[in-house]
Amino acid sequence: MRKGPEEALALAHGASRVLVAKGKKLISYDMKKDAPADEELVKGIIGPSGNLRAPTIVVGKTMLVGFHPEAYEEVFG
């Protein structure tokens, strides 16, 4: 199901932690202690289509955006 910027931001703000994979880089946001500005968050979680990037998985209070092997290993064990 496609989610636009408003729905994607609502998902991110409901998480304690957001992990965004950008190529080989992994960006981690602590949404409780040091949440980024919405503009910065949108740049990481919204793709060129204007919708939430795929794959996006929410596990408990962690939101994973994009694919990054180390992040998946950390979250899924």
- pLDDT of 22-41, one tens digit each? 989 999 999 999 999 999 99
What is the Cα–Cα distance from 71 to 42, expressed in whole angstroms? Answer: 20
- Cβ neighbours of 38 (radius 10 Å): 13
Q: What value does the mean pLDDT take over residues 59-64? A: 97
Token couple for 49 = 């289509």
d(CA 39, CA 5): 10
pLDDT at position 28 is 96
